[in-house]
Structure 1
């Protein structure tokens, strides 16, 4: 069978053709996995998240509008899936933290706990308010402790762009936290 154009497969997908989804899966699975693995660095999790991407593609098939290349569209879906995973994990960690705080938190006064929690919430809120690219670069640097070179490779951008995004993120965070402190 000749290689069908992606546009034709998308038309078939829109018409609920499962074989079109299967062909798109075989054609783009590695692309999706590479995008996710660059962020999560866990092969089993990458495979799960990649399958979620194609499941979401099937669920969105009727309203699907691809304005760029389909590969770029799927890479964006993959990155969004990985980021959603991080957000869910962060929520779970916060819930676990409130149930089982680390030993360093035991013995603190209620006021100290309140101030610490308030500061953490302000910092997390400020991070979440960063522009998407800045936020992603910041998280990879500060939470996953990746070097600028590793971030550049993972996101397929230059090291200079990583430096610029981190500089921008830190400047915005300083300004926002300073504004809150002055209020």
Structure 2
């Protein structure tokens, strides 16, 4: 069942609650572990894991698992964790902005804001796997072998995806980079 099980996928897609229960029993701890590595909080990782399984149930008719349920759920967990971290980061940044800033700080803030907008926009243009690899490496500080293990891909694939991400980001942010 940990591999791509067509029967389980069929049962899940046909609104069979026992299929979700089976997925949950087998994969919940792995999803929690993946999320804990991202958010470093046991209770939060459990809450986010529940969100993953809720989303699996809500999108049951659209889901097509081509690898294994474990890899698919791991990918969903990574996305859920990164979405949470982005949300928290936005809140933290807003809390740190001073009410009044001197002109030099205001100018720097505008320039930084412009760069950040372009950076976020450039990140969104990356293919999904490429973006996740980049974020896990640069924002979460994971090594290539750790990313490979978390995503269920080879270290060479991680290396290739990072190269692709850096190339695309360099192209899209060339106006902001020193010459």
TM-score computed with the length of structure 2 as normaliser: 0.71
CA change 1:78–1:145 in 2 (3 A) is closer
Q: Partner residue of 1:3? A: none
- Match of residue 173, structure 1, among 158, 169, 172: 169
CA change 1:121–1:25 in 2 (3 A) is same
- Match of residue 151, structure 1, among 144, 147, 150: 147
1:142 corresponds to 2:108? no
Alpha carbon RMSD of aligned pairs, Å? 3.4
Which segments of 5 or more consecutive residues in structure 1 lack a partner in the other structure?
A: 1-5
Which segments of 5 or more consecutive residues in structure 2 lack a partner in the other structure?
A: none
Residue pair 1:38, 1:155 contacting (<8 A) in 2 also: no
- Displacement of 1:108 in angstroms is 4.4
In the alignment, the residues of structure 1 paired with residue 60 and residue 164 of structure 2 have an alpha-carbon distance, to the nearest angstrom, of: 37
Question: Which is bigger in relative contact order (C-alpha 8 A, separation at least 6)?
Answer: 2
Q: Partner residue of 2:117? A: 121
Residue pair 2:32, 2:45 contacting (<8 A) in 1 also: yes
TM-score computed with the length of structure 1 as normaliser: 0.70
In the alignment, the residues of structure 2 paired with residue 72 and residue 160 of structure 1 have an alpha-carbon distance, to the nearest angstrom, of: 17
Q: Partner residue of 2:32? A: 33
Residue pair 2:8, 2:19 contacting (<8 A) in 1 also: yes
In the alignment, the residues of structure 1 paired with residue 113 and residue 172 of structure 2 have an alpha-carbon distance, to the nearest angstrom, of: 17
In the alignment, the residues of structure 2 paired with residue 175 and residue 27 of structure 1 have an alpha-carbon distance, to the nearest angstrom, of: 43
Q: What CA deviation, in whole Å up to 9, does each residue of 1:100-150 have, x standing for no partner? A: 327xx9434333332221122112222222222222222222222333343
1:22 corresponds to 2:21? yes
In the alignment, the residues of structure 2 paired with residue 165 and residue 16 of structure 1 have an alpha-carbon distance, to the nearest angstrom, of: 36
Q: Partner residue of 1:107? A: 102
Aligned ranges 1:52-131 → 2 under 5 Å: 52-94=51-93, 96-97=94-95, 100-101=96-97, 106-109=101-104, 110-131=106-127
Q: After alignment, is 129-138 or 144-153 more displaced?
A: 144-153
Q: Partner residue of 2:159? A: 163
Residue pair 1:38, 1:154 contacting (<8 A) in 2 also: no
Structure exhibiting the larger radius of gyration computed from Cα positions: 1
Residue pair 1:35, 1:78 contacting (<8 A) in 2 also: yes
Number of residue-to-residue matches in the alignment: 173
In the alignment, the residues of structure 2 paired with residue 54 and residue 164 of structure 1 have an alpha-carbon distance, to the nearest angstrom, of: 30
- List structure 1 segments (4+ residues) > 6 angstroms apart after TM superposition: none
